[in-house]
Amino acid sequence: MKNILSDKEIITLSSIVNIFPDILIFLSKQNLLNHYQAREILIKDEYKALVNESNQSKGKLMESLAKKYKVSVSSIEIAIYNKSKNKNYKKKKHE
């Protein structure tokens, strides 16, 4: 996912988490805001709104979100469904 949230995304995030935008912007500039998790919150919220409003399939909605946020569909699925990222994957050694 992209690293840094835009000011528009921060303002949207502030309305979701009920924190003043100025505080989030300050935290962002001080590198104290986890942009990855913040973007996941934005994706989840937007996905829920689109599912309720749209008659498109969930797959199509995920594809459109992937294009909007310039990430893969699997990144969208990870954000929406809290899937594991398989970072701790280890191959089994054959004995």
47 vs 94: which has the higher pLDDT:
47
Neighbouring C-alpha atoms within 13 Å toward the C-beta of 75: 18
Tell me how far CA of residue 26 lies from CA of 2, 19, 33, 69, in angstroms: 19, 12, 9, 23
Identify the band that residue 54 occupies on the pLDDT scale cut at 50, 70 and 90.
Answer: confident
Total Cβ atoms within 10 A of residue 79: 23
Mean pLDDT across the chain: 87
pLDDT at 4: 85
Q: At a CB cut-off of 8 Å and minimum separation 6, what does 88 contact?
A: none
Question: pTM for the whole thing?
Answer: 0.80
